[in-house]
Amino acid sequence: MDNSIAKTLADFETIGLAELNSKAAMLERLDNKYILPATAFRPALARFAAHFDVLEIDEKRAFTYATKYYDDAELRGYYDHHQGRRKRCKVRVREYVDAGFSYLEVKLKDKRKVTVKKRLKVDDKANPLNASAVEFIEDNYRDLYAQNFGKTLHPVIAMQYQRITLVARQGGERMTIDTSLRFEANGIVRAVQPDMFIVETKSARGNGIADRILRSLHLHPTKRCSKYCIGMATTGAVQRQNKFLPALKKLRLAH
């Protein structure tokens, strides 16, 4: 992580995991994503300290996430996102490396374009998409879209990054800051330089404190900034990627 960012984080008050989950789990939220170099992000982070606490566990404030995404043979999860379809579903298994546990996560969009995330603890790490996991995916897809999911999934890309989580002292808002991203698919590895950050704000209406601070600094969201889709595009795992080129260029990943 950029040293100046780490120094700024030292000025934040801290919050524990249990308190974060009680205040701002944000499993249903409106998201905005920003791609920022350290030079642009540093002034915003300094302002966040007046409104946000940083998640700290065992004296750590940055945590390693290892995520594997699953899609079908036609990569419909990717192409549904590329085409901007409302009914779309991403399935991933995220390992919280420092904590030593994993969750199956299903991400959906409802009619209001609100992200709905459902999670299931993974007990069988050797077979995370076992019968009960597949049933979990089907049930949540059917509950929201009133139709069967009906796709056979297999792992298509792995990624790893460092994540910092900030929680607003008021209003149930939170944000994540991801850096040192590394993508691997089909034997191809691409990495983002450690002075680049993907900042994701999560709030009930999509216009929280963090968004207002960033906007005051003339920093604006980047559309189509899914880490899954960016990773698939930069590793050459997909044929069509034009909708994600602005994000790829900002991350210095465009070929």
Q: Which residues sit opposite 69 in a β-bridge?
A: 92, 157
What CATH code would you report for 3-250? 2.40.320.10
pLDDT one-digit tens code per residue, 146-187: 999 999 999 999 999 999 999 999 877 899 999 999 999 999
Please give the DSSP secondary-structure letter assigned to residue 253: -
What predicted TM-score, i.e. pTM, was given to this entire model? 0.91
Q: How far does CA 35 lie from the centroid of its chain? A: 12
Question: Which residues sit opposite 28 in a β-bridge?
Answer: 116
111-147 tens-digit pLDDT: 887 888 999 999 988 899 999 999 999 999 999 999 9
